[in-house]
Structure 1
Amino acid sequence: MDVRTAARGSLAAIRLVNGAVALVTPQVMARRLGADPGQAALVYVLRMFGVRTVLIGARLLRPADADELDRELRTGTLIHTSDALAAACAGREGLLPRRMAAAATAISTVNVALTLVARGWPCPLPDVR
């Protein structure tokens, strides 16, 4: 398995696990974020996050072709960059406890790095299969 394939598989696994937790047990995710798990609006938002995250994770597992894979990874880079910025801003503004905001920012930043590695950035890596 080459580095790009390993990065893509790792990213898919992270997305599927985090998405499934948010979708199936949003109260657990809310507690982990330091929020009140009884807030109905938060549970709703976490479930939407979960659905989105599971779908984008699953799409990495079976791309139709190289162009589709590249589109998925480019989209993922944008999604995870916006997630990282949102988490950092939430911590800075006191909307999330600093520790949880730092963790969420770190997870999304790792996801950004994985999308870039899977795409062969900063320079194309040889496909060694």
Structure 2
Amino acid sequence: MNARSFARYSLAGIRLVNGVAALLAPQVVARRLGADGTQPALSYVLRMFGVRTVFIGAELLLLQDPARIARALRVGTVVHASDALSAVAAGRCGMLAPRAAATATAISTVNVALTLVAGWPRRGTG
């Protein structure tokens, strides 16, 4: 397996694990972020995040067309970069505890890196 494929499938796995966790156990995810997991609104938002994340993870596993995969990776770069920036902002404003903000930022930054590696052009294709 080459680096691009490894990055693509790793990213899909991270997305699926985080998405399923947020979808099925939003209270647990909320507590890991340092929030009160009993707030119904937070559970709702985390479930929305979970659905989004499961779909974009499954997309990377199911797509076969290289052009569609490349598009999904470009969109993923923007999605994960905005997630990372949101985590930084939430940490700076005190909306997330420093450790939770750092963890969320790190996860999203790794995801950005994986989208970039997975989308590297093939050698000889200019």
1:52 alignment partner in structure 2: 52
Q: Which amino acid aligns with 2:49?
A: F
Following TM superposition, the consecutive aligned residue runs of length 4 or more in structure 1 with deviations greater than 4 angstroms are none
Q: Deviations over 1:6-35 (max 9, x none)?
A: 000000000000000000000000000000
Specify every segment of 5 or more residues in structure 2 that has no aligned partner in the other structure, as ranges. Answer: none
1:15 alignment partner in structure 2: 15
The secondary structure found in structure 2 opposite 1:48 is helix
Partner Cα separation in structure 1 for residue 34 and residue 2 of structure 2? 38
The secondary structure found in structure 2 opposite 1:35 is coil
Partner Cα separation in structure 2 for residue 9 and residue 91 of structure 1? 29
2:76 alignment partner in structure 1: 76
Q: Deviations over 1:25-79 (max 9, x none)?
A: 0000000000001111100000000000000000000214011001100000000
2:67 alignment partner in structure 1: 67
Specify every segment of 5 or more residues in structure 1 that has no aligned partner in the other structure, as ranges. Answer: none
Partner Cα separation in structure 2 for residue 116 and residue 64 of structure 1? 18
The secondary structure found in structure 1 opposite 2:81 is helix
Kindly state the Cα deviation for residue 125 of structure 1 after the two structures are TM-superposed. 4.2
Partner Cα separation in structure 2 for residue 10 and residue 78 of structure 1? 18
| CA RMSD after TM alignment | 1.1
Partner Cα separation in structure 1 for residue 8 and residue 48 of structure 2? 23
TM-score normalised by structure 2 residue count: 0.96
1:96 alignment partner in structure 2: 96
